Amino acid sequence: MRLDGIHHVTNITGDAPANVDFYTGKLGLRLVKKSVNQDDPTVYHLFYADERGTPGSDITFFEYPGAEPGRAGAGMIHTIVWRVGSPEALDFWAERLGVERDGDSVTFSDPEGLQHQLVVAQVPDEPLIADHPEIPRELALQGFEGVRAYARTPELRTAPFLEQIGFERGGERWETRGDSRGGWIEYERAPEEPGVPGAGTVHHVAWSSPMEEHEQWRQRVAGAGGQPTPVIDRFWFRSIYFREPSGVLFEIATLGPGFSTDEDPEHLGEALILPPNFEHLRAQVEPILTPLPNPRESATRT
Ligand code: ZN
């Protein structure tokens, strides 16, 4: 039983309209679900991914309007690493993003300072691609490769924990590869200054589990000394959460039922979608949510 790489990465934005512009307009991802934070339904939870909303390509944001910029520190992820298909794609993205290519990678930040890196895929995993009029498919982002985190002494406690839950170590990198995909987390020495959660910081990384193995994963995490939450039904997937010993918030989320459960795959992300047990709040929350552009409409108009 191995986790199937990264399911999604969830982050914080203080500016949802600019967030939509950057992740759909600039990076070319598809807004696949526009919903609310299930722990605070007065603010958005936005999900961007490939054309079908596939786990492995799904970057999500909790919106806290006007949130102050945060800063990654010990126990926090500081960089999200994506795959592209070729060295030519690195050149394309360096030019599109206005940054220099740095050898085998391109590093850049979103408008709120959240850092990303692009690397050429070295694995046979299916490329997870969204359609965008300005981005040829062969140059598009292909889903997650890994995440980079800060820790004080990851070798002491994080290493045995990750190995017990099935990650394989290579240097400072721990990788997990399941039946469909692989992904990794790499640890670097944390800066002295403590981290500050806020706009432009990562909230958590979720790893993928087949539906039928989810409960077993909960037991395995508890057996390794983790303190997993009960299984929480997020409607589009089920989740458990726990902190690994260096403090990084992990989730294990199921590969299904998926984003097409409650929305036509042709029109993902266009309307505000509330899970059934939140639908009764619609009249209260819809008027107070930040108005957002429909990125596909604005793309066809320009
Ligand atoms: Zn999550």
What are the pLDDT digits (tens) for 90-137? 999 999 999 999 999 999 999 999 999 999 999 999 999 999 999 999
In a domain, 189, yes or no: yes
Q: Amino acid letter at 207?
A: W
Residue 301 has pLDDT above 80, yes or no: no
Centroid of ligand 1 to alpha carbon of 66 (angstroms): 22
Centroid of ligand 1 to alpha carbon of 95 (angstroms): 31
Backbone angles phi, psi at 87, to 5 degrees: -60, -30
> Cα-Cα-Cα-Cα dihedral of 94, 66, 146, 235, to 10°?
-130
In contact, 200 and 108? CB cutoff 8 Å: no
Once rounded to an integer, what is the mean pLDDT over residues 214-218?
98
Centroid of ligand 1 to alpha carbon of 23 (angstroms): 18
In a domain, 1, yes or no: no
pLDDT in tens, 40-94: 999 999 999 999 999 999 999 999 999 999 999 999 999 999 999 999 999 999 9
Q: Amino acid letter at 288?
A: I
Centroid of ligand 1 to alpha carbon of 91 (angstroms): 31
* Mean pLDDT value across the chain: 96
* Counted domains in the chain: 1
Q: Amino acid letter at 201?
A: T
Tell me what pLDDT residue 296 has: 86
Domain that holds residue 287: 6-301
Which element (helix H / strand E) includes 96?
helix 87-97
Tell me what pLDDT residue 298 has: 63
Pure H helices in 119-182:
158-164
In contact, 214 and 94? CB cutoff 8 Å: no
Nearest in space to 279 (alpha carbons), one of 267, 270, 291, 271: 271
Centroid of ligand 1 to alpha carbon of 277 (angstroms): 18
In contact, 186 and 149? CB cutoff 8 Å: yes
In a domain, 225, yes or no: yes
Instruction: Provide the phi-psi class of 294: left if phi over 0, else alpha when psi is between -120 and 50, else beta.
Output: beta
Q: Which residue carries 């050898």 as its tokens? A: 103
Centroid of ligand 1 to alpha carbon of 102 (angstroms): 31
Q: Which residue carries 């992820």 as its tokens? A: 77
Residue 85's alpha-carbon distances to 110, 140, 193, in angstroms, are: 21, 8, 36
3-class DSSP assignment, residue 54? coil
Centroid of ligand 1 to alpha carbon of 205 (angstroms): 7
Centroid of ligand 1 to alpha carbon of 93 (angstroms): 27
Centroid of ligand 1 to alpha carbon of 10 (angstroms): 6
Tell me what pLDDT residue 300 has: 52
Centroid of ligand 1 to alpha carbon of 58 (angstroms): 10
* CATH at 53: 3.10.180.10
In contact, 19 and 264? CB cutoff 8 Å: no
In a domain, 159, yes or no: yes
Centroid of ligand 1 to alpha carbon of 235 (angstroms): 12
Nearest in space to 78 (alpha carbons), one of 104, 111, 114: 114
Tell me what pLDDT residue 294 has: 87
pLDDT in tens, 236-248: 999 999 999 999 9
Task: Output b/e per residue, 218-246; b: 16+ Cβ within 10 A.
Answer: bebbeebebebeeeeebbbbbbbbbebbb
Give the whole-angstrom CA distance, residue 13 versus residue 114: 9
Better-predicted residue by pLDDT, 208 or 155: 208
In a domain, 222, yes or no: yes
Centroid of ligand 1 to alpha carbon of 161 (angstroms): 20
Residue 211's alpha-carbon distances to 33, 178, 216, 249, in angstroms, are: 21, 13, 10, 21
Q: What is the DSSP letter of 68?
A: P
pTM of the complete model: 0.97
In a domain, 262, yes or no: yes
Tell me what pLDDT residue 302 has: 43
Centroid of ligand 1 to alpha carbon of 231 (angstroms): 12
DSSP lists the bridge partners of residue 257 as 237
